[in-house]
C-alpha cells in the first residue's frame, strides 16, 4: 500500500491545510465550501501557471455535469475569503475567456500525517477505464492528490447515472435539471445523506464542516433534498418535526410545510396565491404554527393547524420586503411577539400581541428616520429577553436586546454594517449571528454576550438557524443562495406579438439583473456580482465583451439607465448609509454624484430630452418620485400618493411609475396633474418589472397561473394581453425587465435557487 502524504501550502499570511480541509488566514480559520477549497488547492499546486477553465473543471468537478458558473462562483468565493481585488489582484488573476493564474509564491511542507491509503498501481485493464485509485474507505484520489471524492459522493452519482443507460456522459457545462441537480446539490454540501435519523449510527459517520473546533462530537445530516429553495426552518416543541417554507410545488411564492425529522414526505399546510409567506414558529403545545403573509393589500400574521386545516388571521402588520410580522410564541401561548408599527407611518417595532384581547404593547420605538426599523426578534431560552436587529437603512443594522417586560434597551454591536440570522445560544449567555462586515471571516458565525461585551467567533455552532427546545439540535439552511440569475432576450413579431426567439445572453455566477438596452440597441447595461462585488457592467447586444463600468470601494451598485443620446448611464449606489444617484459616461469614466442627502435616492430614469433625471426618494417619509434638472440641480417632487421606478413616455407627455408597496402601474402628466392607475397587475416586490415602449407597456404579472407571465398593455386598445410565460423564476425587489423602443425585443432576468435544511446534533 502507498500512503498519501498530506501537505500544507503557505502564501502571504494564508495556510491551505490539505488534510484538515481548512484555509487559515492570519491565524483565523475561514469557512469554505468543499468545491471552492479544491479549486484553491489546485491553484496553489500550480502557482504562476495559466490554468484553463476546462482544466480546472476537469480537476475539481471531474465527471460531474456542471456549468462554468460553478467555477466562476468558486473563484468569487475565494476572492471574498482572501480579501482579493479583481482590479488589482494579489492572489488570483483572471485571464478573460481563458482561465486563471495564481500569482503568489507558494511554500509546500508535509504536515507529518499519513492519510488515505491508495492501492498499488495496477495495469489500466485491471480496473475501470480512467478510474482513479481508491483509499481504504472507498474514497477516490486523483493522481496528483489535488482532489478527493468520497465514496458517499460516488454512491450519490451512481443513483444519478442509470445502469440501464450507459450513453456517453453529458458535457460538463450543460445545465443539470431535476433530480440530477438535487443529487449534485448533495455532493456540494459534503454531507452523507441519511433518510432516517433514528438509525443514522448504523449507516456511518457524517462529514463534519471544516474549521469548527468543536465539531468532533457532532452529527450532520440533510433533512430535505427537494428541488427548489427552502427557508425558515423551525423545530416543533418535541423536536421531532420541522416546519419550513418551500417553493417546489408553488414556484415564486412558496408555502408552509411540516415534515417528521427523518421523514421524506412533507405535509403542505398553505396554498399561497399572491405575495409572500415567511417566518414559521410553533405554538408551545405544538398544535398550531404562526406565520406571516404579505401581498399588495398589506401584511398579516396567521396561524394554521400543524396537522392541516384552515388558516386564521390574527392581526394586520407592516410588511418589509415581503416579510410580515416575524411571529414568535411567548410563554404559555396566549401572546405572540411580532413586528409592527408603533406609530402611524413609522418604522417597525417589537410588539407583544395578546391573542385574547388583540392588544398590542410596544417594546421598542425605533427612531422615525430608521427604515425599515426593528426586525428578526428572537426570545431568550428563559423567555425574559428579546434580541433583535435594528435597521437604520436597508443596508445597515445593529444588534439590540430588550426585556420582554419592557425597558432596559441595550445595543450590543456598533459595527455600522449589517447583522442578521439571530439565534440565542442554548444556555442563553450569548446571541449568535451572521455579521456582514469587513471583518476577517466575512459571513461566518459570530457571537456576543447577551450582557454586552466583545464580539468573537462562535465555535460551537456551524451556522445560525433554529435550535430545538433542548438545545441539542440545530436546523439551518445549506447551502444558502445557491443558484444563478441569468438575463434572457426575447424577439417578438410585433409589439406584444408572437415570440420569434428566446436566448440566454448573459450568465455567470451570482447576480445578473437589471438589464437595459442602449438607445441604439447595440449594448446592454446591467448589474452583476460576478467579480465578488455588485457593480454595473456593459456588454454587446449578444452578451459578449463584458466590461465592468463602476468600481466603488464598498456597497453595491445597480439599476443602470441610459441617457436618450446613449452617452451617459445613470446608476444608484448603495452604501451602509444611504443609496444615491450617480452619472457615468458610456465608456466607464467621469463618475459624478448628482443626488444625495441623509435619505434614500434610488432607481434613476431619464426625461426624453436628457435634461433631467427622475429617481425615487423617501425624504418625505414615504417613497415618492422626484426629478432633478441637471443644469440647475433643482429637485421637484413628481408624485404625491406614492411612487417608485419612473419612466417618461417617448412622446414626453406622460410619466409611468410603479409603487414600492405594489398595486400596479400608474401615470401622471409630465407637467403635473392627476395620478391614474393603468393596471393592478404589477404586484408587490416587482416594482422594477415593467418597461415603456412607443406602442405600450410590458410588465410582469407574477401571480399569473400557472407561471409568472410577461404581459403587454397597448396604449391604443388599453387592453392587457399575455406575451410569454417565464421558464424560470423572476427575481423580485430589483429592476429586471426592459424593452427596446419599438417593442419588438424584451429583456428579463430570471433564475433558480437551491437550498436544503441541514441538521447538526450534540453540541454539549
User: 722 lies in a domain?
Assistant: yes
Asked if 463 and 215 touch (Cβ cutoff 8 Å), the reply is no
Among candidate residues 686, 631, 634, 636, the one with its CA nearest the CA of residue 664: 686
Q: What percent of the chain has pLDDT over 70?
A: 81
State the average pLDDT over residues 734-756: 92
Write out pLDDT tens, residues 236-250.
999 999 999 999 888
From the number of C-beta atoms within 10 Å of its C-beta (0-12, 13-18, 19+), residue 718 rates as: exposed
Asked if 277 and 289 touch (Cβ cutoff 8 Å), the reply is no
Q: What's the confidence (pLDDT) of residue 424?
A: 94
In which band, very low, low, confident or very high, does the pLDDT at 407 lie, cut at 50, 70 and 90? confident
Q: What's the confidence (pLDDT) of residue 458?
A: 85
Question: Which of 93-102, 188-197, 355-364 has the highest mean predicted lDDT (pLDDT)?
Answer: 355-364
Write out pLDDT tens, residues 147-162.
333 333 333 333 333 3
In which band, very low, low, confident or very high, does the pLDDT at 18 lie, cut at 50, 70 and 90? confident
Final residue of a structural domain among 118, 145, 172? 145
Distance CA 99, CA 242 (A): 43
Q: What's the confidence (pLDDT) of residue 32?
A: 77
Distance CA 37, CA 59 (A): 12
Asked if 224 and 259 touch (Cβ cutoff 8 Å), the reply is yes
Chain mean position to CA 184: 19
Q: What's the confidence (pLDDT) of residue 54?
A: 84
In which band, very low, low, confident or very high, does the pLDDT at 63 lie, cut at 50, 70 and 90? low
- Contacts with 332 (C-beta within 8 Å, 6 or more apart), sequence order: 284
At 568, list the grid cell: 451617459
User: 389 lies in a domain?
Assistant: no
State the average pLDDT over residues 37-63: 87
Q: What's the confidence (pLDDT) of residue 248?
A: 87
User: 687 lies in a domain?
Assistant: yes
Q: What's the confidence (pLDDT) of residue 67?
A: 63
pLDDT beyond 50 at 201: no
Q: What's the confidence (pLDDT) of residue 99?
A: 87
Among candidate residues 719, 246, 247, the one with its CA nearest the CA of residue 496: 719
Domain of 694: which CATH number? 2.120.10.30
User: 347 lies in a domain?
Assistant: no
Write out pLDDT tens, residues 312-343.
999 999 988 889 999 999 988 999 999 998 88
pLDDT beyond 60 at 49: yes
Q: What's the confidence (pLDDT) of residue 148?
A: 35
Q: Which DSSP category does 134 fall into?
A: B
Final residue of a structural domain among 145, 170, 199? 145
Three-class SS state of 482: strand
User: pLDDT: is 472 or 665 the higher one?
Assistant: 665
Distance CA 616, CA 634 (A): 15
Distance CA 448, CA 743 (A): 54
pLDDT beyond 50 at 672: yes
Write out pLDDT tens, residues 431-447.
999 865 444 444 578 89
User: 515 lies in a domain?
Assistant: yes
DSSP for 295-320, written as a single string: ETTEEEEEEEETTS---EEEEEE-EE
Average pLDDT, whole number, for the chain? 81
In which band, very low, low, confident or very high, does the pLDDT at 92 lie, cut at 50, 70 and 90? very high
In which band, very low, low, confident or very high, does the pLDDT at 187 lie, cut at 50, 70 and 90? very low
Asked if 613 and 581 touch (Cβ cutoff 8 Å), the reply is yes
Q: What's the confidence (pLDDT) of residue 607?
A: 96
pLDDT beyond 60 at 764: no
CA atoms within 13 A on the CB side of 279: 31
In which band, very low, low, confident or very high, does the pLDDT at 480 lie, cut at 50, 70 and 90? low
State the average pLDDT over residues 56-82: 78
Three-class SS state of 124: helix
Q: Please state which of the ranges 13-17, 489-493, 712-716, 741-745 shows the lowest mean pLDDT.
A: 13-17
Q: What's the confidence (pLDDT) of residue 448?
A: 93
In which band, very low, low, confident or very high, does the pLDDT at 297 lie, cut at 50, 70 and 90? confident
Question: Which of 196-205, 419-428, 483-492, 685-694 has the highest mean predicted lDDT (pLDDT)?
Answer: 685-694
User: pLDDT: is 628 or 321 the higher one?
Assistant: 628
Q: What's the confidence (pLDDT) of residue 263?
A: 83
Three-class SS state of 579: strand
Distance CA 387, CA 464 (A): 14
Write out pLDDT tens, residues 546-590.
999 999 877 789 999 999 999 999 999 987 678 899 999 999 889
The total number of structural domains that make up the chain? 2
Domain of 113: which CATH number? 1.10.10.10
Q: Please state which of the ranges 43-57, 87-101, 171-185, 743-757 shows the lowest mean pLDDT.
A: 171-185
Q: Please state which of the ranges 342-351, 391-400, 417-426, 580-589 shows the lowest mean pLDDT.
A: 391-400
Cross-strand pairs, 257: 244, 268
Q: What's the confidence (pLDDT) of residue 622?
A: 86
Helix axes 151-160, 178-189, angle to 10 degrees: 180
pLDDT beyond 50 at 299: yes
User: pLDDT: is 578 or 305 the higher one?
Assistant: 305
User: 688 lies in a domain?
Assistant: yes
Q: What's the confidence (pLDDT) of residue 403?
A: 95
State the average pLDDT over residues 23-52: 86
Instruction: Give CA separation, 285 vs 98, 142, 514, in Å.
Output: 59, 53, 46
pLDDT beyond 70 at 273: yes
Final residue of a structural domain among 145, 177, 205? 145
pLDDT beyond 60 at 626: yes
Among candidate residues 300, 292, 396, 320, the one with its CA nearest the CA of residue 685: 320
Q: How many CB atoms lie within 10 A of CB 326?
A: 28
- Give the domain range for residue 699: 483-752
User: 417 lies in a domain?
Assistant: no
User: 191 lies in a domain?
Assistant: no
Three-class SS state of 438: coil
Cross-strand pairs, 109: 8
Q: What's the confidence (pLDDT) of residue 481?
A: 55
> Could you tell me how many helices (H) and strands (E) the chain has, helices first?
5, 59
Supply the pTM of this predicted model.
Answer: 0.71
Write out pLDDT tens, residues 96-139.
778 899 999 999 887 654 332 322 333 333 333 333 333 333 33
Instruction: At 126, give phi and psi (nearest 5°).
Output: -95, -5
Q: Which DSSP category does 181 fall into?
A: H
Distance CA 112, CA 213 (A): 20
In which band, very low, low, confident or very high, does the pLDDT at 164 lie, cut at 50, 70 and 90? very low
Among candidate residues 514, 567, 571, 507, the one with its CA nearest the CA of residue 543: 507
At 562, list the grid cell: 441610459
Q: What is the dihedral of CA 343, 346, 347, 349, to 10 degrees?
A: 0
Among candidate residues 466, 320, 327, the one with its CA nearest the CA of residue 391: 320
Amino acid at each position: 500500500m502507498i500512503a498519501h502524504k498530506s501537505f500544507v501550502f503557505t502564501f502571504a499570511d494564508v495556510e491551505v491545510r490539505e488534510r484538515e480541509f481548512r484555509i487559515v488566514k492570519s491565524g483565523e480559520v475561514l469557512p469554505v465550501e468543499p468545491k471552492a477549497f479544491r479549486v484553491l488547492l489546485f491553484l496553489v499546486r500550480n502557482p504562476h501557471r495559466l490554468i484553463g477553465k476546462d482544466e480546472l473543471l476537469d480537476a475539481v468537478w471531474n465527471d460531474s455535469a456542471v456549468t462554468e458558473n460553478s467555477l466562476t462562483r468558486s473563484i468569487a468565493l475565494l476572492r471574498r475569503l482572501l480579501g482579493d481585488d479583481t482590479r488589482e489582484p494579489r492572489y488570483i488573476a483572471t485571464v478573460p475567456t481563458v482561465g486563471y493564474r495564481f500569482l503568489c509564491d507558494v511554500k509546500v511542507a508535509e504536515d507529518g500525517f499519513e492519510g488515505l491509503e491508495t492501492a498499488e498501481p495496477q495495469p489500466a485493464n485491471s480496473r475501470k477505464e480512467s478510474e482513479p485509485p481508491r483509499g481504504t474507505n472507498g474514497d477516490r484520489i486523483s493522481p496528483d492528490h489535488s482532489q478527493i471524492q468520497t465514496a458517499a459522493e460516488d454512491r450519490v452519482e451512481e443513483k444519478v447515472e442509470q445502469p440501464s443507460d450507459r450513453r456517453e456522459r453529458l458535457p460538463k457545462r450543460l445545465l443539470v435539471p431535476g433530480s440530477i441537480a438535487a443529487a449534485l446539490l448533495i455532493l456540494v454540501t459534503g454531507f452523507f445523506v441519511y433518510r432516517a435519523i433514528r438509525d443514522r449510527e448504523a449507516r456511518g459517520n457524517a462529514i463534519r464542516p471544516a474549521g469548527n473546533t468543536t465539531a468532533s462530537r457532532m452529527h450532520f445530516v440533510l433533512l430535505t433534498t427537494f428541488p427548489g429553495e427552502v427557508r425558515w426552518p423551525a423545530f416543533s416543541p418535541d423536536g421531532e418535526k420541522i416546519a419550513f417554507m418551500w417553493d417546489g410545488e408553488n414556484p415564486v411564492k412558496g408555502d408552509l410545510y411540516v415534515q417528521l425529522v427523518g421523514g421524506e414526505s412533507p405535509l403542505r399546510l398553505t396554498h399561497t396565491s399572491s405575495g409572500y409567506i415567511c417566518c414559521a414558529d410553533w405554538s408551545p403545545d405544538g398544535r398550531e404554527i404562526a406565520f406571516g403573509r404579505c401581498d399588495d393589500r398589506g401584511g398579516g400574521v396567521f396561524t394554521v393547524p400543524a396537522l392541516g386545516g384552515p388558516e386564521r388571521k390574527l392581526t394586520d402588520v407592516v410588511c418589509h420586503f415581503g416579510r410580515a410580522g416575524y411571529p414568535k410564541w411567548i410563554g404559555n401561548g396566549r401572546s405572540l411577539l411580532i413586528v409592527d408599527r408603533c406609530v402611524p407611518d413609522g418604522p417597525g417595532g417589537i410588539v407583544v400581541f395578546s391573542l385574547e384581547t388583540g392588544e398590542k404593547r410596544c417594546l421598542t420605538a425605533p427612531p422615525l428616520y430608521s427604515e425599515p426599523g426593528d426586525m428578526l426578534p428572537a426570545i431568550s431560552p428563559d423567555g425574559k429577553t428579546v434580541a433583535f436587529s435594528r435597521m437604520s437603512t436597508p443596508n445597515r443594522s445593529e444588534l439590540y436586546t430588550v426585556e420582554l417586560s419592557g425597558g432596559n434597551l441595550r445595543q450590543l454591536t456598533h459595527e455600522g454594517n449589517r447583522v442578521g440570522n439571530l439565534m440565542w445560544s442554548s444556555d442563553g449567555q450569548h446571541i449568535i449571528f451572521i455579521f456582514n462586515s469587513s471583518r476577517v471571516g466575512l459571513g461566518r458565525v459570530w457571537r456576543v454576550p447577551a450582557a454586552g461585551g466583545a464580539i468573537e467567533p462562535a465555535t460551537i455552532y456551524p451556522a445560525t438557524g433554529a435550535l430545538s427546545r433542548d438545545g441539542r439540535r440545530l436546523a439551518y439552511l445549506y447551502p444558502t443562495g445557491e443558484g444563478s440569475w441569468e438575463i434572457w432576450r426575447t424577439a417578438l413579431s410585433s409589439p406584444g406579438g408572437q415570440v420569434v426567439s428566446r436566448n440566454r445572453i448573459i450568465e455567470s455566477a451570482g447576480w445578473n439583473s437589471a438589464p437595459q438596452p442602449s438607445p441604439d440597441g447595440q449594448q446592454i447595461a446591467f448589474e452583476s456580482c460576478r467579480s465578488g462585488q455588485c457593480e454595473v457592467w456593459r456588454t454587446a447586444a449578444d452578451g459578449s465583451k463584458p466590461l465592468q463600468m463602476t468600481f466603488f470601494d464598498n456597497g453595491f451598485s445597480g439599476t443602470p439607465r441610459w441617457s436618450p443620446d446613449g452617452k451617459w448611464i445613470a446608476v444608484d449606489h448603495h452604501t451602509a448609509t444611504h443609496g444615491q444617484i450617480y452619472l457615468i459616461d458610456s465608456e466607464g469614466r467621469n463618475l459624478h454624484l448628482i443626488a444625495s442627502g441623509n435619505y434614500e435616492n434610488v432607481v434613476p430614469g431619464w426625461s426624453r430630452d436628457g435634461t433631467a433625471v427622475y429617481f425615487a426618494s423617501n425624504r418625505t417619509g414615504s417613497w415618492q418620485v422626484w426629478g432633478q434638472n441637471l443644469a440647475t440641480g433643482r429637485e421637484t417632487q413628481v408624485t404625491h400618493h406614492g411612487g417608485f421606478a419612473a419612466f417618461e413616455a417617448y412622446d414626453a407627455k406622460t410619466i409611468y411609475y410603479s409603487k414600492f408597496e405594489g398595486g400596479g402601474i400608474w401615470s401622471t402628466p409630465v407637467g403635473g396633474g392627476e395620478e391614474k392607475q393603468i393596471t393592478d397587475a404589477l404586484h408587490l416586490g416587482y416594482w422594477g418589472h415593467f418597461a415603456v415602449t412607443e406602442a405600450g407597456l410590458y410588465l410582469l404579472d407574477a401571480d399569473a397561473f400557472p407561471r409568472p407571465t410577461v404581459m403587454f398593455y397597448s396604449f391604443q386598445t388599453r387592453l392587457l394581453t399575455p406575451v410569454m410565460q417565464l421558464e424560470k423564476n423572476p427575481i423580485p425587489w430589483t429592476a429586471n425587465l426592459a424593452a427596446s423602443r419599438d417593442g419588438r425585443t424584451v429583456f428579463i432576468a430570471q433564475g433558480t435557487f437551491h437550498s436544503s435544511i441541514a441538521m447538526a446534533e450534540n453540541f454539549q
